[in-house]
Amino acid sequence: MAIPSSQRIFVDAVTRYCLARNITVEVRSDGWLIAMRSGERRHLAFAYDVGLNSATAHQIANDKAATADVLQCSGVPCIPHTLFLGPKLAAYAPAAGSWETMLRLLAENPRGLVAKPNEGTSGDGVFRVTTKPALELAVGRILAAYPSLAISPYVEIEDEVRVVLIDDRPVVVYSKERPFVVGDGRHSLLELALAATPAERRSTVLPGLFAELGRAELDAIVPAGDRRILNWRHNLDSGAEPVLLKQGESRDACIELAIKAARAIGIRFGSIDVVRTDGAWRILEVNAGVKMEALSRSHPELVYAAYEAALDKVFA
């Protein structure tokens, strides 16, 4: 869903940068297109991309299956994603068909699969499935809105970290903390979730809980001291909160892996999501557009500094 330009810190950061340096700036298309001019030089920014990345790197990063393929070829540990084309691209689909391959993936992954649009951000249209009917429903919903989808094995993610890089230099590193409640031995999971979640955030935080659990589990009393995660996804748009990662081995490991991923794809300015599963770090996704709306609520100075550093590269 498009966010009004008045709420996008990206637009404010680019505008503020240009005004401070006598760079002519013009905001078009409700903030999704920004034209900048410095002397005889003209430069464009679109959506959350300042224009540092090549067209090829941008397209690969925005394609989840292509990103996984490139990383695997480059020896960078990652979560595999398999591409499936929708009806509009049926002419390019393999002759053997896709459904049999999807069922094989489901059989090979007893913990389930994650189906999502092959292109897109913010966690829209992401489904965790463990049964054939659920897979069929998820595929139908995704392909009704998107031309293709990607399927990956469901893995228990212990931690998820986002690393924002500019030419291999980390400018922002934060973890994504999912919303949770702690039991008191008197209230149900549903009661605790409703009490802990502000009304304006319930539509983003709670759907994942309702999709995963039945009524009996939601109504069960949570034992005192028990910690329950409210959403299996780490997406910031699904209620997770950004928490700056302190110096240490985990931060260093995530940065090192993110740099390898960025180099493999050719990304100069991007955000790389690194996840820890079974004690090992792997790349989940690479984003050519750097969206930091959630982080800006708690650390606006870091967000402005990151966009400023990227624009310095543009106008260097």
Helix (H) or strand (E) holding 72: helix 64-73
Binned at pLDDT 50, 70 and 90, residue 5 comes out as: very low
pLDDT tens-digit series, residues 263-312: 999 999 999 999 999 999 999 999 999 999 889 989 999 999 999 999 99
> Please, which pLDDT band fits residue 201 given cuts at 50, 70 and 90?
confident
Comparing 54-58, 120-124, 149-153, 170-174, which segment has the lowest mean pLDDT?
A: 120-124
pTM of the prediction? 0.84
Whether the predicted pLDDT of 207 surpasses 80? no
Q: What is the mean pLDDT of residues 161-184?
A: 92
Band (pLDDT 50/70/90 cuts) for residue 1 is: very low
Output the pLDDT for position 2.
40
Q: Is the pLDDT of residue 96 over 90?
A: no
Q: What SS3 state is found at 93?
A: coil
**For position 123, what pLDDT does the model report?**
62
Q: Which residue matches tokens 């505008």?
A: 15
Q: What is the mean pLDDT of residues 22-38?
A: 94
- DSSP reduced 3-state for 121: coil
Higher-pLDDT residue of 257 and 122 is 257
Averaged confidence pLDDT in the chain: 89
Q: What percent of the chain has pLDDT over 90?
A: 66
Residue 120 carries which side chain, given as an amino acid letter?
G
The whole-number average pLDDT for the span 105-129 is 88
The residue ranges of DSSP E strands in the chain, in sequence order, are 24-28, 33-38, 41-46, 82-85, 113-117, 127-129, 148-153, 159-166, 169-177, 180-182, 227-229, 241-244, 269-277, 280-287
Query: What does the pLDDT read at residue 3?
Result: 40
Q: What is the mean predicted confidence (pLDDT) over 224-242? A: 75
| Mean pLDDT calculated for residue range 61-82 | 97
**Higher per-residue pLDDT: 206 or 260:** 260
CA distance 70 to 136: 28
Judge whether residue 230 has pLDDT over 80.
Answer: no
C-alpha 312: how far from its chain's center?
25
Which pLDDT band, with edges at 50, 70 and 90, does 180 fall under? confident
Answer whether 65's CB lies under 8 Å from 118's CB.
yes
DSSP helix/strand/coil, 40:
coil
Bridge partners (DSSP) of residue 114 are 128, 152
Handedness of CA 105, 111, 117, 120 (dihedral sign): negative
The distance from CA 21 to its chain's CA centroid, rounded to whole angstroms, is: 32
What mean pLDDT is predicted for residues 145-156? Answer: 94
Letter for the amino acid at 40? E
- Structural domains in the chain, CATH included, are 52-78+156-178+234-316 (3.30.470.20), 80-154 (3.30.1490.20), 180-231 (no CATH)
In the sheet where 33-38 sits, what is the strand order?
A: 24-28, 33-38, 41-46
